[in-house]
Chain A
Amino acid sequence: MFARLHEIADPVIFTFDGVSIRAERGQTLATALLAGGVDVFRWSVVGGVPRAPYCLMGVCFDCLVTVDGVQNRQSCLIEVRQGMDVRSQAGGRQVNTAGVR
């Protein structure tokens, strides 16, 4: 859906739901995911329908993902890092799941 304007010059590699994605160091996680071909970041809490970033500036909360075990991170406000373990979300945030911070 999205194409990069420039070749990646300084790559980092992270995973989304276990699949490796290459990104440019310094870009936001949201744009790294979009450029990596991800168009569903999560399934909404109430209606269970697919969601992707909308505002890309920290307001809409539609770009939420789980990053290194922490739920509901706004991917548009986080810089992508080497080795990040990023997961899509489905339904509400779990509050009592063992192993989740």
Chain B
Amino acid sequence: MSTALTRDFAVVGGGLVGAAIAVGLARVGLKPLVLDGEDLDMRASRANFALVWVQGKGVGAPHYALWSKASAELWPSFAGDLFENTGIDVRLRQTGGFSFALSRDELDHLREDLETIESETKRASPPYEVLSHNETKERLPELGREVVGSIYSPADGDVNSLRLLRALHIAMQRAGIDYRSRHLIDKIEPVNGAFRLTGRWGSVTVQRVVLAAGIDNQRLSPMVGLSTPLRSSKGQILVTEKCAPFLPFASGTIRQADEGGVMIGDSEETNATTVAEHTDVATVLARRAIKTFPLLADVNVIRTWAGFRVDTVDGLPIYEQSAQFPGAYVVTSHSAVTLAAGHALSLAPQIARGSLSGDFDPFRSGRFHVRQAA
């Protein structure tokens, strides 16, 4: 790329967050330059659990509960748009989701969280049911005896997230967006109201820039006067051989993908230093899955992978325009699948207009600095 290059708009990051924003910008007539990293960078977009999930999100943060719900509600039209533009069916399934409890305590905690969210959102959060073992088994005949009960919410679901990433990239292509892989950014310099992005590939000057680089936002956002404090959170997933369909609902820990493989997940390690998988973590995941659905005991696990979540210190997304350097935005979110529809259809048009609505105020990074300011 020549050093003299200038563009109106750049999105840094071509994962689920960056690609969804780029596609959203294209919908309102902008053609951002999308600068992506290396294939082997930490890519949560290739290691996620593919849920479109609202249930239990936003305890103490009703704005997050409602934003998740709003995005889940936008998902059918978003998936329809993607299919129309790319011919790719991302296999959206919103038949509802279960959270399984293996003890009375677990069920109480799940219920208390949902009651808190319900009251904090003034009953605007999605409906849910607290089900006994027998009531759950009526809907899921393969349920294990050790499941004490469950929560069911009709708002939850899942997609095929690899198809989603591919569909977003094809949509970018069809929209004429200039996408560049292997364009790691070494530095961003605010220059006369614009931004000069530089890497080993050269540099480009843009009027506006959206940082959607996942974990790398932590390094990049201070360069535009913002901050993205992340915590280390590693997750591991087991994947079984493809099976005939037996689980027509999503859940936070076990789901059967559209092509038949069963994904077993939701581990969390907060002190991991490498992305390698661990057999002890796999053992815990497998044991819990078999208690929930005993028929899984005979099914072969053929793959396991791990990834680092893009997780802020308080677990909530960051959406913010730099006050110091207007025109620079940071978008950091753990739930890039659930929120993809919101990012494309609701957030991107606001970025295009040049300001975020007041709904996004609670998501600013200033919340992490209250103690320092006081």
Give min CB distance, B264 to chain A, whole Å. Answer: 13
Given contacts A45-B259, A46-B259, contact A95 B242 (CB under 8 A): no
Complex: how many Å from CA A96 to CA B144? 13
A95: chain B residues within 8 A (beta carbon): 142, 243-244, 246, 295-296, 298-299
- Cβ of A6 under 8 Å from chain B: no
Q: Is A92 in contact with B300, judged by CB distance below 8 angstroms?
A: no
- Do residues B259 and A93 form an inter-chain contact, with CB atoms below 8 A? no
The dominant DSSP class at the A interface is: loop
With an 8 A cutoff between CB atoms, is B129 at the interface?
A: no
Contact B260 A92 (CB under 8 A): yes
Q: How far is the CB of B300 from chain A (nearest CB, A)?
A: 6
B223 to chain A, nearest CB (A): 44
Within the complex, which residue of A92, A96, A101 is in contact with B242, where a contact is CB–CB below 8 Å? A92
Contact yes or no, A96 B241, CB < 8 A:
no
Q: Residue on B with the closest CB to A96? A: B295
Those of A43-93 within 8 Å (CB) of chain B: 45-46, 61, 72, 91-93
Instruction: Tell me the residues in window 239-261 of chain B with beta carbons closer than 8 Å to chain A beta carbons.
Output: 241-246, 259-260
A101 touches which one: B245, B298, B302 (CB < 8 A)?
A: B298
Number of contacting residues on A, CB 8 A? 11
Shortest distance between the CB of A49 and any CB in chain B (Å): 14
CA of A46 to CA of B295, assembled, Å: 21
A46–B260 touching, CB < 8 Å: yes
**Quick one: closest A residue to B302, CB to CB?**
A61
Residues of the B chain whose Cβ atoms lie less than 8 Å from the Cβ of A94: 243-244
Give A81 to B242 CA distance when docked, in angstroms: 27
Q: How far is the CA of A94 from the CA of B299 in the complex (A)?
A: 9
Q: How large is the interface on B (under 10, 10 to 19, 20 to 34, 35 or more residues)?
A: 10 to 19
Chain B 229-245 near chain A by CB (<8 Å), digits 1 or 0: 00000000000011111
CB neighbours of B300 from chain A (8 A):
72
Give chain A residues whose Cβ lies under 8 Å from the Cβ of B259: 45-46
Min C-beta distance of B240 to chain A, whole Å:
9
Residue of B nearest to A91 (CB): B244
* Cβ contacts under 8 Å, A46 to chain B: 242, 259-260
* CB neighbours of A93 from chain B (8 A): 241-244, 260, 299
- State whether A92 touches B298 (Cβ < 8 A): no
User: How far, in whole Å, are A46 and B246 apart by their CA atoms in the complex?
Assistant: 15
Q: B residues within 8 A CB of A96? A: 142, 246, 295
B142 CB to closest chain A CB, in angstroms? 6
Instruction: Return the contact of B260 from the options A45, A61, A101 (Cβ within 8 A).
Output: A45
Is B142 in contact with A92, judged by CB distance below 8 angstroms? no
- Scoring B142, B242, B245 by chain A CB atoms within 10 A of each residue's CB, the highest score goes to B242
* B245 and A92 form a contact (CB under 8 A): yes
Of all chain A residues, the one with the shortest Cβ separation from B298 is A101
Q: Give B276-294 as 1s and 0s: 1 = Cβ < 8 Å from A's Cβ atoms.
A: 0000000000000000000
User: In the complex, which residues of chain B have a beta carbon less than 8 angstroms from the beta carbon of A72?
Assistant: 241, 300
- Complex CA gap A46/B241 in Å reads 12
**How far is B295's CA from A72's CA once the two chains are assembled, in angstroms?**
16
Q: How far is the CA of A87 from the CA of B243 in the complex (A)?
A: 17
Cα distance, A94 to B242, chains bound together (Å): 9
For residue A61, which residues in chain B have a CB less than 8 angstroms away from its CB? 302
Chain A nearest CB from B49 CB (Å) reads 20
The A-contacting residues of B in range 293-346, CB under 8 angstroms, are: 295-296, 298-300, 302
Select from chain A the residue with minimum beta-carbon distance to B141: A96
Most buried by B among A45, A95, A101: A95
Contacts of B243 in A (CB 8 A): 92-95
Q: What's the least CB distance linking B134 to chain A, in Å?
A: 19
Q: Closest chain B residue to A101 by CB distance?
A: B298
Once the chains are docked, how many angstroms separate the CA of A84 from the CA of B57? 52
Min C-beta distance of A51 to chain B, whole Å: 13
Chain A residue contacts of B245, Cβ below 8 A:
92
- 7 A-B residue pairs with CB within 8 Å: A45-B259, A46-B259, A92-B242, A93-B241, A95-B295, A95-B296, A95-B298
Query: Taking beta carbons and an 8 Å cutoff, which residues of B are in contact with A?
Result: 142, 241-246, 259-260, 295-296, 298-300, 302
State the 9 A-B residue pairs at the shortest beta-carbon distance, nearest first: A92-B244, A45-B242, A92-B260, A93-B243, A95-B243, A95-B295, A92-B243, A94-B244, A96-B295
